[in-house]
Chain A
Amino acid sequence: MRWVLLLLLALALAAPAVAWATEGHDEENKAQTAQALAVQALALILAHPPPHDEAIEKLDEALAADVKGEIDLRALRAAHAAMHDEDVVAARRFLERAFPGESAHIVGVTFRPAIGSAQAIAGIIGAAALVLAGLGLARRRAADREHALN
């Protein structure tokens, strides 16, 4: 069992390094979603006095973003147009309407890796580690009891 344990640990630690060599590169920053960029634009408008160049830049990026979920695109486009017309009050009003829900304008995690084969392998190794640890602890418990009796 000790050899299985050692093998398992070595696999858990060595597998990622091997797999890295075959991974591709992606130029697109998947965390830059339209929703996150729009929240940042709104926050910049609220937090800073004019000029709002950075907020306009964020809205430009939001409309160009690949991931456009969890945002009302019509409101986003209207806010974008209002900002370019230098109507900050209207842009703010449109942006506040652009998000689903009442007031939770918060940005947290915007990109999470999909669960694929690497995750499945990790899950299997993890489950095997838990079973082995459980067996080891049970055996240890019995051995300790025997040791104490002697």
Chain B
Amino acid sequence: MATIERAGSRGGIVQRVGGWLDSRFGISALAYPVPRHANALAYTLGGVTMGSFVLLVATGIYLAQVYDPTPAGAHASIVELSGGGFGAVLRSLHFWLSGIFIVTLTLHLLRTFATAAYKAPREGIWLTGVALFTLGGGLLFTGTILKWDQEAFEAFGHNIEIAELLGVFGFLFSPEFTDSVSLLTRTYVAHVSILPLLLAGLVGVHVLLVKRLRISPAPFGTPEEAERREREEPRLPFTTHLARLLYWTLVALGIALVLAALRPTGIGPEGVEGIEITKPPWYFLWLYPLENWFGLRALVVMPALLLAGLAALPFVDRSRERDPRRRRAWMAFGSAVLVLWIFLTIYGFNTIPVSHVGEM
């Protein structure tokens, strides 16, 4: 009660509301100390990804009100939504936010790799992060299918073929799983409830682990120097970090809005089964040439290899070194993987698509 009265006696309305909230929800407990380097942009990328996810959920709630998740109505409902006005803006905003989400998520992963923040005792943070990366990929894939145009049809066809390839493990993702609900509707359920719920829960675990094990120290110098610097580094309240996260999330929203205004998201024609005349979205384009060279199995094997490699990383690289300049072999390996990914993406973009049609 005394706290409430104190809060009420303060000046501005913002302080009074803040005091009211704090006395009931203990918000001031968030002002625990964090090292100053945590406020650098490189250490804010995970929070911006989370902010983008919240905005994606908000825009997704709107989109769910007008989207028809049945094979007969899905495409027409997206075309109608894209017809103009703010519905089209909101769909474009959702699209561009998803791009920002995957870019910041990937940059966050790369920063964690470069600063060796996956090393003991933070293996759990890294593993939950890899799982979040996988779920993010799942959200992008299911989102691609929902628009139900030719590109979506082809992604959907790949989904079915991969499910068949996986046998028992792919049964859940095949049309044979149930006759009563179409696979498109089930994909929609995965996109709007199963995957976001899993992601939100896992983000909670990820964040709690960061809180428990602390933000990783700045990596430069020998392990001893890094430890000493960690002890001596000035501390700031975590709320200053939160404020930065909110501002950077506002930057993400601003960029997405400007892009939605300048480049509204479009849609392709109604899908036709059994043909292949589109290319995947840019974030899956690296798989396109691999499928051309090695067949459908590459779509299972290559992502599985990538994820298994990421998951195994903290158990393979067990030295105490964190400085990127002192981990040249690992940095060279990581750079090679990144360059290969960029090369495959550009190659996939430039591959002549017509050669693919006749092979189906």
- B-binding residues in A (CB < 8 A): 2-3, 5, 9, 12-13, 15-20, 22-23, 25-26, 29-33, 36-37, 39-40, 42-44, 46-48, 54, 58, 103-116, 118-123, 125-130, 132-134, 136-137, 140, 143-144, 147-148
Contact = CB atoms under 8 A, between A and B. Distances in A.
B354 A130 contact: no
Given A109-B268, A122-B93, A133-B248, A47 B261 contact: no
User: Interface extent on B, as a size class?
Assistant: 35 or more
Contacts, number: 217
6 contacts: A19-B85, A23-B87, A31-B79, A43-B275, A47-B360, A115-B261
B278 A106 contact: yes
A113 B253 contact: no
A148 B201 CA distance: 34
B90 interface: yes
A133 B275 CA distance: 46
B16 to A, nearest CB: 13
Contacts of A148: 36, 234, 236
Given A122-B93, A133-B248, A31 B149 contact: yes
B279 interface: yes
Which 3 residue pairs of A and B lie closest in terms of their CB atoms, listed nearest first? A126-B257, A123-B261, A112-B266
Interface in B236-288: 236-237, 240, 243-244, 246-248, 250-251, 253-262, 264-270, 272, 274-279
Given A58-B272, A110-B268, A126-B258, A118 B58 contact: no
Which of A5, A36, A58 counts the most chain B CB atoms within 10 A? A36
Contacts of A47: 274-276, 357-358, 360
Given A26-B80, A113-B264, A129 B87 contact: no
Contacts of A33: 269
Given A109-B266, A112-B266, A20 B87 contact: yes
Contacts of A12: 253, 257
Which of B62, B251, B254, B270 counts the most chain A CB atoms within 10 A? B254
A130 B253 CA distance: 8
Given A17-B62, A26-B83, A136-B247, A43 B276 contact: yes
Interface of B: 14, 36, 39, 58-59, 62, 66, 75-76, 79-80, 82-90, 92-93, 149-151, 234, 236-237, 240, 243-244, 246-248, 250-251, 253-262, 264-270, 272, 274-279, 352-354, 357-358, 360
B79 A111 contact: yes
A125 B92 CA distance: 14
Contacts of B268: 31, 36, 107-111
Given A126-B254, A140-B243, A140-B244, A29 B79 contact: yes
B255 to A, nearest CB: 7
A123 B258 contact: yes
Contacts of B236: 144, 147-148
A112 B147 CA distance: 13
B83 A113 contact: yes
Contact of A133 (B92, B149, B251): B251
Contacts of B247: 133, 136-137, 140
A53 B143 CA distance: 31
